[in-house]
Amino acid sequence: METTPQPPQGAPARSGRSRRLRGLIALPFAALILSGCTVPSFGAKKSDTTTGLSTYHLWQGFSIAAAIIGGGTLLLILYAVLRYRRKDDSIPKQSQYHIPLELLYTILPILIVIGLFATTLVVENKVVAEPKTSYVVNINAFQWGWKFSYPGTNALVVGQTTQKPTMMMPLGVDVHFNLTSSDVVHGFYVPDFNFSRYALPGVTNNFTFHAMKTGTFFGQCTQLCGLYHSLMFFQVKVVSLPEYRNWIHQFDTPAGAAAAQAAQQALEQQNATHVPYKPASTTGTGAAN
């Protein structure tokens, strides 16, 4: 009489464990595929300047690399836990000097570090680059406000404590900035630009923005600088190039010149007394917006 061959004892159990292990390994990859093709921000904010956007993409790349490396490490740990877990009191097979594997886990991390370093260097060089441009803004931080002046023009904007001055800049061109402080350390921060830089007394920090969209963007001091630090806000308004030039030319009028002079006098008064001071009229072109 013929008999049907039976599988070895224990084979179905091993097969079931293998399927569960494969499912466990495939789970994170399935989640990644089902999430679609859009790369998330990983908590960062997409910038409205070219340099800030490069920094944003660098952050995304680092986050993806960290997720892949961390996920791969986790899978290897889970594989070792499940595959080589204790089954009896016997000593498991010992192995060493696996040259290909040792070369892999030595060379691969080095290549990863080199790749991260190279991409960081490229982005940092782009952020600190100072391309030639005819558009320059001097930013001066003081307790507790901001002064924005435009070399070669009469344009001047000063914001005293409790005011929120507006720094104007044109769209689609490189704008060079010189950042200084009159007294203590301040922090120049524009969240929508993914940019923060210290304003240091006696030091001029230089940087360049290339705005990609018009709009008004919030900014603030991020370094504790004294009693009214929490009120030290400002705005960055990006406008078209013709609109920017028209705004600059407003300061060539008697009214614009008078407003700029009043703003400068208010700044000098506040710096001399270290007490918030407002000019008699702040309705002119050079006053805080």
**Of 16-25, 28-37, 39-48, 201-210, minimum mean pLDDT range:** 28-37
What local confidence, expressed as pLDDT, does residue 140 receive?
93
What local confidence, expressed as pLDDT, does residue 286 receive?
45
User: Mean pLDDT in the chain?
Assistant: 82
Q: Confidence band (pLDDT; 50, 70, 90) for 51?
A: confident
- Taking the C-alpha atoms of residue 256 and residue 155, their distance in angstroms, rounded to an integer, is 8
**Of 23-32, 59-68, 92-101, 135-144, minimum mean pLDDT range:** 23-32
Q: Is the pLDDT of residue 9 over 70?
A: no
Question: What is the pLDDT averaged over residues 256-274?
Answer: 74
Other CB atoms within a 10 A radius of the CB of residue 157 amount to: 24
- Taking the C-alpha atoms of residue 70 and residue 77, their distance in angstroms, rounded to an integer, is 11
Q: Is the pLDDT of residue 170 over 50?
A: yes
Higher pLDDT, 174 or 16: 174
What local confidence, expressed as pLDDT, does residue 240 receive?
94
